[in-house]
Chains A and B, each alone.
Chain A
Amino acid sequence: EFCDVISKDNMGGGSSIFTKQELDDYQELTYFTKKEIHHVYKRFKSLAPNPEAVTKATKLSRDELYALPEIKVNPFKDRIVRVFSSSGDDSMTFEDFLDMMSVFCDHAPLAIKIEYAFRIYDFDEDDSLGREDLRKLIDRLTGEMKLGESDMEQLIQAVIEESDLDNDDGLSFAEFEHKMTKNPEFVTSFRIRM
C-alpha cells in the first residue's frame, strides 16, 4: 500500500516493527507522524537495559523509564509514570510511552495537556487539587530548598484564593482548566522535545 511505501522510504524498512493496522492507529490517535512514531520507538528501546530484546509488548519498569533525561530531572517523575501507565503499576508498554510523548509533544492541543497536568499534580488522586496536593507540588518545585511553614501556608492560601471560584478549598478540574487556559507559559513549559 501507499502508506507502507512512505514509511519504508522514511525508515528504510523499519516499518516491519509495526503492522499496518498499528501504524494507522498510532498515526490517527497520536499527534505524531510515522517518522516520529519510529523515533519514539527508538527512544523507548534505548531505555531498556537490553534494547535488542525489546518488543512492542515489553513493559519498561519505573526505574528503566527514569533513564529518559527529561523524566530523570523532572520533580514529578513518579506521577508522570503513574499517570501514563495504563496498567497502573508504574510500568509502561510502548503504547503508553507513545501516548505520553504525544501529550508532551508540540502539536498536542492545550486541553489534553491541561488534563494530564491536572492528573500529574493530583497526588492523592481525588480529582481535586487540595491543600495537600499543592503542598507536595510546591515542595517538589523548589527541590532541595524548602519554603518555610509560614511561607508555604501563605503560598497555598494565595493559590487557592486566586483560583478557587466555588470556595471548596481546592481546585476542581474546571478551575484548573480555567487558570491554565489563561497561562501563556503553561503550553511552552508542559512540553518535552523529541
Chain B
Amino acid sequence: MVLTNSQMEYILHLFLEEVNTHPNRRKGAATSKVNAFIALLPSKQPIDRQMSRRSTTAKKRAIARNNKIHPSKKDPEMEELEEQGIDVSNLEDEEDVHRVMNAIKQLPCPLAAKRRFRAKLLQKEIKQSSGCCGGSNTNRQNWRKFKIWKKEMSYKLEPWGSWLKNVEGHQGTGVVSYFVFLRWLFFLNLVIFILMLLFVTIPYVAFSNNGYTYVVTGSGVSGMSVASEQTCSPLYQVNVSSDAKTLIQDFLQGSGWMEKTAMFYGFYDSQDLNSFVAGHYSLPLAYLLTSLVILLFSLITMARYTMQSFRENLEDQNEKHQYCNRVFGGWDFALSEEGTAVLKHRSLYKDLAGELAEQRHHEARKNMSSNDKCRLYTIRFFINFMVICILGGSGYLIYWVTDWVTSFLADPNYKTNNDAIVVLLVEFLPSLTITALNGIVPLIFGIVVKAENYTPEFTIKITLIRTVFLRLASLAVLIATIYRIVSCTDKETTCNVGQNACDSLRCWETYVGQNFFKLIVLDFLVKVGVTLGYELPRKILTTKCDAAICKKIGLAEFDIPKNVLDIVYTQTLCWLGFFYAPLIPALATISMFVLFYLKYLSAMYNTNPPEIPYKASKSNNFFMIVLMIAFFLCCLPVGYTMVKLTPSYGCGPFRIYSYMTVCVDATISNFPSWLQTIIGIFTSGSFIIILLVLLSLIIYYTSSKSGARAKMIVMLKEQMIMEGKDKQFLLNRIYELTGEKPGAKKKDNKRPPSNGPRNGPPPSAVKTVNEVHQNGNVSKDNDLTPVDDVPEVVPYNDPDDSTRKTAETAFKREVTPVDWDQVPGDENTNRTTSTVTATNVAFDF
C-alpha cells in the first residue's frame, strides 16, 4: 500500500485544522500534537510485527541517546522505561517481569543504566515469590544450556570442523566453500557405496544360492531364457596371470584377476538367493532397484543442497546490497591473529577493487563506440569459433584414439608382440588422452578469454562453461565409442557376442565398467601427482631458494573453480560407472577422502588464497548446476542400458533376461493377480498422461504464485520508500508550523517542480520538501523554539468541514500566498524560492 495523495492531503488537512483551532500553543502541547500527527501517519500504524518492532527500536534509540548525553542523569527510570514503549504499569506476575526484563536487556545502553532500571523494577514489584532462580527462569536457563550443549555437540560431531576453521583462517570463506562441497560429495559417495554394499555385494557373497527359482524367472514372462545362460556362462573366462607385474597392471586396469571380483558387473549372478529373512532374495531386482534408488537419492540431495543456497541467493537478486554487505559485514570481528588479519585486509581490498572494476567495466562497455564494439564482437566471434573447433578437435582426438586402441587390442597376439609397458600405455591411452586434454585445453581457454574483454565474474563463468563442455564432451565421446563397440550389429546368435569386425566382448558391461574404473584411478593418480609433484616442489623452491627468479615464481594459487570441476568430474565418473562396476563408489569415496587431506595440505602450506575475489554463494550455485547437468547426462547412458540394451548372456545379474527391466516383470508376475492389475493401471500410458497433466498444473500454479510474490516484493519496496518520504515531508511541514528547529544537516534533494525563476520575486507559497530532517527526532521539548511568530492564518480555510471529501476538495484549491520567510527558526535553512501549489506538491510524491 503506497500512501496515496488523498491520504496525504487528509493528514495534512487534519493537522492544519488543529493548528488553526488552537492559536495559543504552548511548548508541550505543540510537541504532543506533533507526536500525535506523526502517529497518524500510515507508516506509523503497526501493520505487522516488523513495523512495530522498528518503531520501538527508534524509541529505544532515543532513550539510549539521552542516556549518553546525560550519563549522570538521575531521572525516574520508570518513566524512561514507559517512554520507550515498555509497559511497566501492570506487573502482575513473573511473566510480566520477565517480559520487561527482556526488553531492558535489549536496550542499547550501558550495563550500569540497565542495572538501575532493573533495581527500580524490582523495587516496584510487589509479588516476588521466589528468588532469582524462579521456576520459569530455571527452565529457561536449562533450555538455554541445553541449546548451548547441543550446539557444542553438533560442532564436535561435524567432521573436519576444526580443519575447516584452519582453512578459513588461512584462505578465507571461498576456499572453505570448496572444502564443504568436497565433504558433501564424500558423504554422498559414502552413502552410495553403503547402499551398493548392503543390497548387492553383501547378499551375493553371504547368502547361499537357490538356483533359478520362480522368484527370478517369474511365471509366463517373455524375454527370459535360462538355456542360453547355461551355454554362455562357461564361455566367459578370464586369464589370471600370477606374474607380480601383471598383477599390479591388472589392478590398475581392472582386468585379469580384478575382472571377476565384486568390483565389476560380471561377478554377480542372476540366481535367487536364500536370504535369512524372507527366504528369497532376487539379486537382479535388488541390483536394478538399488541403482534406481541411488540415482534418486543423488537427485534429492542435490536438489536440497541447491535449494538451500538458492534461497539465500534469491534475496540478493531482488534488491541490490552487494556493496553494503561488503562494507558493513566485511570485517570478521572474530579474527584474532595478526597474519590472518593482514590477509583479510588484502582480500577485502581485492574484493572491493574487483567489484568496482567490474562495475566500471560494465559502464565502459555501455559507452563504447560502435567501432570498438564491432571489433570486440568480431574478436569474440572468432574466439568462440576457435573454442568450438578446439572442443570438436578434442572430441575427434578421443574418438580416434579409442578407435585405434580397440583395433590394436583386437589383434589376438598383441600381448606377445609388444612389451608389457607398451600394452599398459595403449590400454590407458584413451584415459590418458582425456586427462591430458582436460589439463591442457583449459589453459588455452584461460589465455584466449582475456582477449574477449568480459567482466571478471563472467570471465570465470565462461571459462568454466567451456571447461565443463570439454570434460562432458570427452566423456560423451568415450561413451559413444563404447556404445559403438557394444552395439556392434555383427553378433553371433547364441551368446550375443560380437564376431568378425566386432569385438568379441563376452561381458560388455564389465568392459564399460573397466573403462570408468581406469578413468577414476588415473584421475586420482593425477591429482595426487599434481599436489605432490608440482605444488610441493614449487613451495620448496619458493621458500628454500633465495634467487630472484625463484621468488618470482612464487606459490601456486588455490584455483577454486578448477578444483571444484575436478571433483565434479570424479563424481560424474562415479555416477556413470557405478552401474557397471558396483564398487566404484568405494573408489570415489576413498578418492574424496584422500583428496580432502591433499587439498588441505595444498591450501594450508602450498598455495596462496585466490587473487580473484571469489563469491562463494553465487559460484556454489553454479557448481551445483554443473553437477546437476553432469548427473542428468549420466542418467542417460545408465537408463538406456537398463531399458534398451540386451545384457550379456554369459555374465552379470541380468544374464537370463533379454532386457534388464524384465526382472521387474518377473517379480510382478509372482504377485497376486489383483496387485498385478493395480500395478498395470499405474504403469499404463493413460495414467502417466494424467500424472503429467497434474504435474504441469502444479508447476503452473507454483510459478504464478512466485510471480505474484515478486510483484508483492516490488510493491512493498515502493511502499517503504514512500514511507520514508512521506515522513520527511510531513515532518518538515510540522517543524515549519511549530517553529521547531530541524536537524543541523541540510541538503537540497528533490526539488518540487518550480513554476517561476529561482531568484525571482518573493514566493507565493514555498514548500519545504527540500528540508530534510536527519534524525526524525521529535520528542525533545527543550529543542523547541518560541512559536509566537508562526502565521496564524493557515492557507486552508475550511476547518469546519472535517469530512474527508471536503478536505480533499479544499486541498485542491490554490494556496493563499504566505510569506514563509517570516517564519522564525534557522538562518542556515536554505529554502528554495520556487513556488508551487499544494496540489503540485501532493502529486510530486
Contacts and interface: CB of A to CB of B under 8 A. Distances in A.
Interface of A: 1-3, 6, 20, 24-31, 33, 69-70, 72-76, 86-88, 95-96, 98-99, 104, 107, 109, 111-112, 115-117, 119, 121, 126-128, 130, 134, 137-138, 141-145, 147, 151, 154-155, 158-159, 162-163, 165-169, 172-174, 176-180, 182-186, 189-193
Contacts of A142: 345, 348-349, 352
Nearest to B67: A86
A25 B356 contact: no
Given A86-B71, A96-B111, A145 B346 contact: yes
A177 B56 CA distance: 13
Interface stretch (B101-109, B265-273, B446-454, B503-511): B101-109
Nearest to A158: B323
B333 A191 contact: yes
B692 to A, nearest CB: 38
A121 B331 CA distance: 12
A58 to B, nearest CB: 15
Given A127-B774, A162-B323, A168-B774, A2 B747 contact: no
B337 A162 contact: no
A173 B145 CA distance: 33
Contacts of B760: none
Interface in B426-446: none
Nearest to B58: A174
B114 interface: yes
A70 to B, nearest CB: 5
A145 to B, nearest CB: 4
A147 B113 CA distance: 41
Interface residues of B, number: 76
B674 interface: no
24 contacts: A1-B133, A6-B133, A33-B144, A69-B337, A70-B334, A86-B71, A86-B113, A104-B333, A115-B60, A115-B108, A137-B327, A142-B348, A142-B349, A151-B356, A167-B750, A167-B772, A169-B747, A179-B321, A179-B328, A182-B315, A184-B315, A189-B330, A191-B334, A193-B334
Contacts of B105: 28-31
Interface stretch (B370-378, B482-490, B717-725, B813-821): B717-725
B320 interface: yes
B703 interface: no
B312 interface: yes
Interface string B288-324: 0000000000000000000000001001000111111
A119 B109 CA distance: 12
Given A70-B334, A73-B335, A115-B61, A138 B352 contact: yes
A180 B329 CA distance: 8
B111 A159 contact: no
Given A155-B323, A183-B324, A73 B337 contact: yes
B525 interface: no
Given A73-B335, A111-B57, A111-B106, A126 B346 contact: no
A173 B58 CA distance: 9
Given A24-B132, A141-B348, 16 more contacts: A1-B131, A29-B101, A70-B336, A75-B345, A86-B111, A115-B57, A115-B64, A121-B328, A145-B349, A166-B724, A166-B728, A168-B772, A182-B319, A183-B321, A183-B329, A186-B329
Nearest to A127: B775
Interface in B62-84: 64-65, 68, 71
A109 B349 contact: no
- Nearest first, the 5 A-B pairs at minimum CB distance are A143-B345, A73-B341, A86-B110, A69-B336, A142-B349
Interface of B: 53-54, 57-58, 60-61, 64-65, 68, 71, 101, 104-106, 108, 110-115, 118, 131-133, 141, 144-145, 148, 312, 315, 319-325, 327-338, 340-342, 345-346, 348-349, 352-353, 356, 359-360, 720-721, 724-725, 728, 744-745, 747, 749-750, 772, 774-776
B640 to A, nearest CB: 42
Nearest to A173: B61
Contacts of A179: 321, 324, 328
Contacts of B335: 70, 73-74
Nearest to B68: A88
A65 to B, nearest CB: 14
Interface centre among A87, A98, A141, A179 (most CB of B within 10 A): A141
A2 to B, nearest CB: 5
Contacts of A31: 105
Chain A, interface SS category: helix
A74 B360 CA distance: 30
Contacts of A185: 325, 329
Contacts of B68: 88
Contact of B324 (A72, A74, A162): A162
Given A115-B108, A162-B323, A166-B725, A189 B57 contact: no
A141 to B, nearest CB: 5
A163 B772 contact: no
Contact of A154 (B145, B315, B338, B356): B356
Given A70-B334, A112-B106, A144 B345 contact: yes
B349 A189 contact: no
Contacts of A190: 329, 333
B230 to A, nearest CB: 64
B316 to A, nearest CB: 9
B353 A159 contact: no
Contact of B118 (A28, A99, A138, A163): A28
Given A73-B337, A168-B749, A186 B328 contact: yes
A30 B64 CA distance: 16
A112 B544 CA distance: 50
Nearest to B727: A166
Contacts of A27: 132
Contacts of B327: 134, 137-138, 141, 155, 159
A159 to B, nearest CB: 5
B68 to A, nearest CB: 8
A96 B325 contact: no
Contact of A25 (B118, B340, B346): B118
A117 B327 CA distance: 12
Contact of B328 (A88, A109, A145, A183): A183
A53 B709 CA distance: 62
Contact of A99 (B110, B325, B774): B110
A128 B772 CA distance: 13
A163 B61 contact: no
B320 A162 contact: yes
Contact of A2 (B133, B320, B337, B360): B133
Contacts of B101: 28-29
B349 A143 contact: yes
A19 to B, nearest CB: 12
A58 B349 CA distance: 39
A123 to B, nearest CB: 13
A23 B88 CA distance: 23
A91 B721 CA distance: 41
Contacts of B133: 1-3, 6
A177 B60 CA distance: 14
A14 B59 CA distance: 39
A172 to B, nearest CB: 7
A97 B800 CA distance: 60
Contacts of B328: 117, 121, 137, 176, 179-180, 183, 186
Nearest to A159: B323
B71 A88 contact: yes
A71 B776 CA distance: 33
Contact of B115 (A29, A88, A104): A29
